[in-house]
Amino acid sequence: MKERQPRGFERAVEMASSILMYVSTGLLFVMLLLGTADVLGRYLFNHPITGTQQVFEILLPGIVLLGWAYAQRTKSHVAVDIVYDRFPPRVKPIVALFITFLAMVISALIVWQGLLECMFNFQMGRMIRIIDVPVYIPQLLVPIGAFSLFLVLIIDFWTHIKEIKKG
């Protein structure tokens, strides 16, 4: 069977999720370099880098959340198929559609609440001590990651609908 080329929306979502994955990989590389420099500074020069823990606390969620959409798009998430594999072939797309819809609702709620939390912290002027970074900046990674996941889930949702229509 010939694999079809992605259309405009799908291509844009694929590109966005890939870019976010590369940003996530870049954050991991920065975390690796900072951790190495901190350990070397601590044990060789008895002078660790100030704020390393706070920077790690910012980078770690970014690494996970910005890779969300790419992992969903490439189906790299851990899947437990013990129950799903027991469904008849005609029921599987319906169950997948329901699960995808549920994931869309949850990711939309994460986007909404993440934006509310960012706006609250922006209005309050909260800062991360030691490194003087506004709290809302790293918190923006939550709605960005959830929104990119939501976009990938929209594509999955339509794919499941097409599978159901095919029978």
Average pLDDT over residues 143-147: 95
Q: Map tokens 């590369």 to a residue.
A: 22
Q: What is the pLDDT of residues 15-30, one digit of tens each?
A: 999 999 999 999 999 9
Contact residues for 78 (Cβ-Cβ < 8 A; gap 6+)? none
Average pLDDT, the chain: 89
pLDDT at position 1: 46
Average pLDDT over residues 79-98: 85
Calculate the alpha carbon distances from 74 to 17, 121, 153, 159 in Å: 10, 34, 12, 14
In this predicted structure, which of 11-25, 52-66, 72-86, 146-160 has the lowest mean pLDDT?
72-86
62 by Cβ neighbours in 10 Å (0-12 / 13-18 / 19+) ranks as buried
Q: Is the pLDDT of residue 2 over 60?
A: no
Q: Is the pLDDT of residue 5 over 70?
A: no
CA diameter of the chain: 67
Q: What is the pLDDT of residues 91-135, one digit of tens each?
A: 888 888 999 999 999 999 999 999 999 999 999 989 988 888 888
What residue spans define the domains of the chain? 8-166
For residue 157, the Cα-to-chain-centroid distance in whole angstroms is: 18
More confident residue, 33 or 164: 33
